[in-house]
C-alpha cells in the first residue's frame, strides 16, 4: 500500500492499494481519449405524447469538451428559459466525449437548438425530469498516452485482482480481468485543479456561511492563474466585496454573483452570506454538502485501509447492503435501502453473500439519519467525524443543504480490459453510478491527477 499524491491526500484519498510502480503517461490528451457512455435507466413516452401528462422533453446528447453544468446553462440560454428547467442523470468530465440524458421542461422538439460540440437527439417525453442518479452506470473507453512505463500495467492489474479477492491467474473468458479498488470519490468531486468544494461544504454544515463564501470566493490555489490567485488573496485579506468585483476575472461567474449579492445586501450578518451562497444553482449548493460527505467518506476508507480491514468482505460491526434486484445482470448495484448490521453470529453467512456478489460492505455518507455501525468500523467513522468537528445532527440544514445521509459500498468491482499499442494504453470497463473512472486509473498512473 503506497502513499497517494499530495493533492489526493487533501481530499481524503491517502493511499493506493497497488504497490506496483505506475505507468505514468497523459490522461485526456484529447477529449476523444476519454469516452463515457451512460448505461441508461430511464423510461420515456413517445415524442408525440400529451405534453400535459409528459411535460419534459428527454434528450440524448453527445458532448465533446463540455462541462455538464456549462452545457445546461448554454442550452437554457438558447431556449430562453430558466436553467432550473434543465436536468440530467449524472455530471460528467469536461475534457471528454460523453453520451448522456438530459430533460427540458416545457419545450418541443422543434425548439431544440444546435450547439457546437453537442450532438442532440430527441428521445421522447417524460412525466418527470431526469434526476441525478437516473442511470445504472457508465461505460468507459479511455486511452493513456505516452506511458513512461507501460510494462507496469500488468503488475497493477495483478494487485487490483488480489484486492478484489481473486487469484493471480483469474482471467474471465473474454480476456477481461475482475479487479477492484476502494470506492473513493474522485478528485473531480472536489475540483481537480482547485479542490475546495468540500471545504465550502464543511463550512455550510457548521452553518458558518461567511466561511463558506470565503472558501469559495477567496482561498487561492497555486494551480490557478496569477490574476485569479491575486483576486482571491485580496478577498481573504480585505473582505471587500465591491473591490473583489473589480479584481475577479469575468470567467468566475459564480464567485462574482456571490459578491454582487453581498454588495447589495451589505454583508453585515450571516443571512447575507447564506443568501450569497444560495444565488448559486441548486445542484451546486447540494454538491457542496455532498462534497463534505464525500471527504468524510474518503477519510473513512483511508483509515480502513490503514488498519488493514478487508474491503471485499465484512468484519463484525460492518453494515452491508444487498444487491439491487432491478440492476443489470452484468452491473451489480448496491441497494442502500436494504441494509443489515453484521454480527459475529452472522459473519460467515454475510461473507458468503459478499463472495457471490449478493451483498456489499458499506461505509456511511453521513447525514441526519446515519447509522455509524459498531465495532471497529463504527469506531473509524466516529473518529473521522470527531476529527473534522461534525456529527450526524449537523446535517439538519435549510433548503438544498439538508441531507439525511445514506451508505456507499467501500469497494467497486469491474471487469477490466487493458490493451497496449506502443507506449499507449487503452482501458475498457463499466462502473456503477456514482463510481469514478479516475479512481481506477489513478492506481495505474500514480501521478498528479491534474496532468
What sign does the dihedral 115-119-122-128 (CA atoms) show?
negative
Longest C-alpha distance within the chain, in Å? 66
- State the pLDDT at residue 192: 74
- State the pLDDT at residue 249: 95
* pLDDT single digits (tens) 16-67: 999 999 999 998 899 999 999 999 989 999 999 999 999 999 999 999 999 9
**208 tagged catalytic:** no
pTM: 0.89
Which helix (H) or strand (E) segment holds residue 295: the answer is helix 282-306
Assess contact for 14 and 305: CB atoms under 8 A: yes
| C-alpha–C-alpha distance, residues 48 and 4, integer Å | 52
In the numeric block, the cell 431544440 is attached to: 112
Domains and CATH numbers, the chain: 2-32+138-180+417-445 (no CATH), 42-133 (3.30.70.3160), 207-280 (1.10.1510.30), 287-409 (3.30.2350.20)
Give CA angle at 98 (287, 191), nearest 5°: 35
| C-alpha–C-alpha distance, residues 320 and 408, integer Å | 9
Average confidence (pLDDT) per 10 residues, the chain, 451 residues: 93 96 92 95 95 97 93 96 94 91 96 96 97 92 96 96 74 76 93 90 96 97 94 97 96 95 94 95 89 97 97 95 84 88 94 92 95 93 96 90 93 95 96 93 91 71
What sign does the dihedral 272-273-274-278 (CA atoms) show?
positive
The string of DSSP letters for 179-226 reads EEEE-PPPGGGT-SSS--HHHHHHHHHTT-HHHHHHHHHS---TTS-H
- State the pLDDT at residue 167: 57
Closest by Cα among 133, 135, 98 to 117: 98
* pLDDT single digits (tens) 243-267: 999 999 999 999 999 999 999 999 9
- State the pLDDT at residue 328: 78
Closest by Cα among 408, 404, 379 to 321: 408
The residue count of the chain comes to 451
Which helix (H) or strand (E) segment holds residue 125: the answer is strand 118-126
Catalytic residue among 70, 77, 93, 146: 93
Amino acid at each position: 500500500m503506497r502513499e497517494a499524491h499530495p493533492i489526493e491526500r487533501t481530499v481524503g484519498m491517502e493511499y493506493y492499494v497497488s504497490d506496483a510502480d505506475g505507468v505514468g503517461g497523459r490522461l485526456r490528451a484529447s477529449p476523444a481519449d476519454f469516452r463515457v457512455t451512460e448505461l441508461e435507466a430511464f423510461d420515456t413516452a413517445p415524442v408525440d405524447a400529451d405534453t400535459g401528462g409528459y411535460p419534459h422533453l428527454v434528450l440524448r446528447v453527445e458532448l465533446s469538451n463540455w462541462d455538464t453544468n456549462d452545457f445546461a446553462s448554454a442550452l437554457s440560454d438558447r431556449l430562453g428559459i430558466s436553467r432550473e428547467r434543465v436536468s440530467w442523470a449524472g455530471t460528467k468530465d469536461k475534457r471528454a466525449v460523453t453520451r448522456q440524458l438530459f430533460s427540458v421542461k416545457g419545450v418541443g422538439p422543434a425548439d431544440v437548438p444546435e450547439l457546437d460540440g453537442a450532438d442532440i437527439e430527441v428521445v421522447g417525453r417524460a412525466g418527470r425530469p431526469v434526476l441525478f442518479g437516473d442511470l445504472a452506470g457508465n461505460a468507459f473507453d479511455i486511452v493513456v498516452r505516452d506511458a513512461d512505463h507501460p510494462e507496469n500495467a500488468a503488475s497493477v492489474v495483478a494487485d487490483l485482482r488480489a484486492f478484489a479477492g481473486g487469484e493471480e491467474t483469474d482471467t474471465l473468458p473474454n480476456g477481461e480481468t475482475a479487479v477492484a479498488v476502494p470506492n473513493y470519490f474522485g478528485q473531480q468531486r472536489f475540483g481537480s485543479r482547485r479542490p475546495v468544494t468540500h471545504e465550502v461544504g464543511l463550512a455550510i454544515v457548521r452553518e458558518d456561511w461567511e466561511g463558506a463564501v470565503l472558501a469559495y470566493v477567496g482561498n487561492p490555489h497555486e494551480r490557478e492563474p496569477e490574476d485569479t490567485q491575486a483576486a482571491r488573496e485580496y478577498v481573504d485579506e480585505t473582505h471587500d466585496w465591491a473591490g473583489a468585483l473589480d479584481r475577479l476575472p469575468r470567467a468566475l461567474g459564480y464567485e462574482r454573483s456571490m459578491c454582487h449579492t453581498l454588495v447589495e445586501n451589505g454583508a453585515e450578518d450571516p443571512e447575507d452570506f447564506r443568501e450569497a451562497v444560495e444565488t448559486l444553482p441548486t445542484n451546486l449548493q447540494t454538491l457542496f454538502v455532498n462534497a463534505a460527505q464525500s471527504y468524510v467518506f474518503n477519510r473513512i476508507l483511508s483509515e480502513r485501509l490503514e488498519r488493514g480491514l478487508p474491503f471485499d468482505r465484512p468484519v463484525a460491526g460492518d453494515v452491508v447492503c444487498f444487491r439491487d434486484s432491478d440492476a443489470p445482470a452484468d452491473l451489480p448495484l448496491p441497494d442502500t435501502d436494504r441494509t443489515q448490521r453484521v454480527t459475529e453470529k452472522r459473519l460467515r453467512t454475510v461473507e458468503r453473500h459478499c463472495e457471490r456478489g449478493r451483498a456489499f460492505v458499506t461505509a456511511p455518507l453521513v447525514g441526519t439519519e446515519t447509522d455509524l455501525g459498531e465495532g471497529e468500523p463504527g469506531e473509524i467513522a466516529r473518529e473521522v467525524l470527531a476529527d473534522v468537528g461534525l456529527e450526524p445532527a449537523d446535517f439538519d440544514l435549510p433548503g438544498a443543504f439538508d441531507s439525511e445521509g445514506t451508505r456507499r459500498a467501500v469497494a467497486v468491482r469491474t471487469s477490466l480490459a487493458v490493451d497496449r499499442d506502443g507506449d499507449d494504453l487503452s482501458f475498457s470497463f463499466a462502473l456503477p453510478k456514482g463510481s469514478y473512472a479516475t479512481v481506477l486509473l489513478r492506481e495505474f498512473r500514480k501521478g498528479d491527477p491534474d496532468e
